[in-house]
Amino acid sequence: MPKSWSGSVDLHLDIDTSGGRRAGLERALRAAIVAGRLAPGTPLPSTRALSAELGLSRGTVSAAYDQLIAEGHIIAVPGSGTRVADIAHRADLAPVSAPSTWAGSATATAAGLSSGEVRRGESRRTPVHDLLPGRPDLSTFPSAAWLRSTRRVLAEAPSEVHALSDPRGRPELRAALAGYLGRARGVHADPERIVVTSGYAQSLGLLASVLREAGTAAFAMEEPGHPFHRAIVRRAGLGVVPLPVDDMGARPEPLDGVGAAVLTPAHQYPSGATLGPDRRRAFVTWARDAGGLLVEDDYDGEFRYDRQPVGALQGTAPVHVVYGGTTSKTLAPALRLGWLVLPAHLVEPFAEAKRLADAHTQSLGQLVLADLIGTHAYDRHVRASRLRYRRRRDLLVRTLRARVPQVRVLGIAAGLHALVLLPDGGPGEDEVMRRAAAHDLALMPLGGHWHHPAGRPQGFVVGYSTPLGAAYPAALDALCAVLTTRPA
């Protein structure tokens, strides 16, 4: 009869003893290892413990272990017990999927996916070279500082921190953010007007829902702009009106019939333009006179290279601007930590929308971030990252100017990406994407960022922060090869 064992590694193990107890145990363990349910390095119970759990003799368990050791599935380390061997058993059993074309696909672009993000039901492998925008260099995550802060939080936080709490977020983080945003970004941020969210995407979606319920029919959103953010607004039941962008940022027209305008003033995505002073004043005047709302997406405002970071638009008109920030570019997107600084009249309805969505953002990460900010470890990490990304930007610009002078590189004064425009004589985005696939290079075409792409300039949004560590020069070599290769 089959037996089940959950043991010290919490694995359900079905043992069919019809062919013998030892053989049945061998088959069950082997199958669990090959299927990946027992991962490499997983410790196995001692022969004494496992024999007691399964009601088998210790000799039977020892014999099964010996056989799996001989096959290479497990290893016995003197003084450390028995563990699953570090070998790739699952490769032969992995399902075969269709080849991927990296972020040159309309699907990836329209969904706003970065490398490592997977659409439901879609199998995507990691490219050799990754220049997609949307995330920092994850190899530089401040693990030591995060660990120190985590230890302090766990040692000092009261037990109630593990209970459901204020949907606006932990008061410790809201106070820390108020101080940091005022000091570093020029934001007027009372802790009582800050709501912590699970990232900017949630911030935008909840805000769109709140404004729709208050009577807003449409948002103005930058053209070109982030396609994923447009999809979020439409999902909330609102219309989207294109807001044209030029080298001075978004133009404050047309704004008739919209209740809010979503802007990226410090570093427009994807053009890289900074919103000019006259445009800032014009948008604020519209919001004040028309009763509209400006939504400031300050997704990478800390990273300015030609001068001090441009202060937040919210600092000039806190009653008319919702300020949105996130740790996705400064630390890591997987932390799922974002925030909105709201005008007073929106705090209560937005907090209620957050409560109904998911009660509140997980508390431990909030407290760790508050500690990072309070000890200035966050500032130190941002400053170090700014220097590192500036060097990467400089290498990208020098490399393209020297090796691919026919392309134009824009938006390089700030941020984590550059806009590379293709020459009018070709090749176009589709051709470059075919070459990129041949070079195993992940690129993000500009086409999907337009509300109406017909007749628009063609190019690519190149994320120079994405490659891990020493992989960056090789990724630039691949980019140059893709942009200079001619069809056979």
Looking at residue 112, what is its pLDDT? 41
- Top CATH class, 106-140+386-484: alpha beta
pLDDT band at residue 35, thresholds of 50, 70 and 90?
confident
Looking at residue 12, what is its pLDDT? 67
Name 157's Cβ contacts closer than 8 Å, sequence gap at least 6.
367
Res. 217: pLDDT tops 50: yes
| DSSP reduced 3-state for 345 | helix
pLDDT band at residue 20, thresholds of 50, 70 and 90?
confident
pLDDT band at residue 194, thresholds of 50, 70 and 90?
very high
Angular region, 376: left φ>0, alpha ψ -120 to 50, beta rest: left
Res. 284: pLDDT tops 70: yes
When mean pLDDT is compared across 82-86, 92-96, 392-396, the lowest value belongs to 92-96
| DSSP reduced 3-state for 223 | strand
Dist. CA 127–CA 129, nearest whole Å: 5
DSSP 298: -
Least Cα distance to 180 among 307, 361, 341 occurs for: 341
Return the top range by mean pLDDT from 1-10, 434-443, 462-471: 434-443
Res. 108: pLDDT tops 60: no
Residues 232-252 pLDDT 10s:
999 999 999 999 999 999 999
Length in residues, the chain: 488
Q: What share of the chain is helix, strand, coil (3-state, %, to 5)?
A: 45, 15, 40
pLDDT band at residue 430, thresholds of 50, 70 and 90?
very high
Measured CA angle at 246 (ends 241, 251), to 5 deg: 45
Q: What is the CA radius of gyration of the chain?
A: 27
Res. 267: pLDDT tops 70: yes
pLDDT band at residue 71, thresholds of 50, 70 and 90?
confident
The helix (run of H) or strand (run of E) holding residue 110 is helix 106-111
Looking at residue 89, what is its pLDDT? 44
Residue bearing the bigger pLDDT, 160 or 307: 160
Largest CA distance in the chain: 85
Dist. CA 330–CA 386, nearest whole Å: 9
Res. 78: pLDDT tops 80: no
Angle between helices 363-374 and 171-185 (to 10 degrees): 40
Looking at residue 15, what is its pLDDT? 85
Res. 7: pLDDT tops 50: no
The helix (run of H) or strand (run of E) holding residue 444 is strand 444-445
Looking at residue 404, what is its pLDDT? 96
Dist. CA 135–CA 138, nearest whole Å: 8
pLDDT, the chain, mean:
88
Res. 97: pLDDT tops 60: no
8 A C-beta contact, residue 135 and residue 333: yes
Mean pLDDT, residues 252-266 taken together: 94
Res. 312: pLDDT tops 80: yes
Domain 17-91 shares a fold with domain 143-379: no
pLDDT band at residue 114, thresholds of 50, 70 and 90?
very low
The pair of structure tokens assigned to 127 is 């490219």
Dist. CA 239–CA 216, nearest whole Å: 9
Dist. CA 371–CA 353, nearest whole Å: 27
8 A C-beta contact, residue 252 and residue 283: yes
The helix (run of H) or strand (run of E) holding residue 220 is strand 218-223
Res. 460: pLDDT tops 90: yes
Residue bearing the bigger pLDDT, 18 or 350: 350
Pick the CATH number of 17-91 from 3.40.50.2300, 3.10.310.30, 1.10.10.10, 3.30.390.50: 1.10.10.10
| Side-by-side strand order, sheet with 417-421 | 408-410, 417-421, 459-463, 444-445
Looking at residue 387, what is its pLDDT? 95
Mean pLDDT, residues 329-351 taken together: 97
Res. 113: pLDDT tops 50: no
8 A C-beta contact, residue 444 and residue 460: yes
**β-strand partners of 341:** 194, 323
Scan for tokens 């691919």, then name that residue.
404
Least Cα distance to 413 among 305, 337, 308 occurs for: 305
Looking at residue 16, what is its pLDDT? 83
Looking at residue 52, what is its pLDDT? 84
Indicate the domain borders of the chain. 17-91, 106-140+386-484, 143-379
Looking at residue 86, what is its pLDDT? 79
pLDDT band at residue 122, thresholds of 50, 70 and 90?
very low
Mean pLDDT, residues 338-364 taken together: 97
Looking at residue 307, what is its pLDDT? 76
Q: 257: number of CA atoms within 13 Å, CB side?
A: 8
Looking at residue 106, what is its pLDDT? 35
For residue 153, report the phi and psi dihedrals to the nearest 5 degrees. -60, -45
**Domain 143-379 grouped into CATH 3.40.640.10:** yes
pLDDT band at residue 486, thresholds of 50, 70 and 90?
low
Share of the chain above pLDDT 90, in %: 69
pLDDT band at residue 103, thresholds of 50, 70 and 90?
very low
Dist. CA 461–CA 469, nearest whole Å: 20
